[in-house]
Structure 1
């Protein structure tokens, strides 16, 4: 899964954001399971990037929902 940039996320619809969020969360769960079982991660920084991307998607979703509610 590629790390998404803010302008890529803004171009998505709410449904696409939700699907992407599900994929990112499942990937993060896999990475954490590998680390918890004592396995070596290929890229330890990837966990951090996944967390940041999840936060970024959630932030953009809230922005879009706020715009839809306010009508602005």
Structure 2
């Protein structure tokens, strides 16, 4: 899953935004599952990137609702 920047997020439609958030949340759950099972991720910074991307998308969703 690609990491989206603010410009990329603003270009997504509402439906695409919801789908991408769901996909990223599933990926985050998988990473947390690996870590909690005692394993390590290939890219330790990936969890942080996913969390920040989800936050960008949620911010865009709130902006659209209140605009």
Whether these two folds match at TM > 0.5 is yes
CA RMSD of aligned residues (A): 0.6
Query: 1:62 & 1:27 partners in 2: Cα distance?
Result: 22
Instruction: After TM superposition, list the pairs within 5 Å mapping 1:1-12 onto structure 2.
Output: 1-12=1-12
Instruction: After TM superposition, list the pairs within 5 Å mapping 1:19-38 onto structure 2.
Output: 19-38=19-38
Query: 1:40 & 1:63 partners in 2: Cα distance?
Result: 36
Query: 1:14 & 1:57 partners in 2: Cα distance?
Result: 10
Q: Deviations over 1:3-51 (max 9, x none)?
A: 1011111011111100000000000000000000011110111000100
| Gap regions ≥5 residues in structure 2 | none
User: Is the aligned partner of 1:50 residue 2:53?
Assistant: no
Larger radius of gyration, structure 1 or 2?
1
What's the TM-score once normalised by structure 1's chain length?
0.89
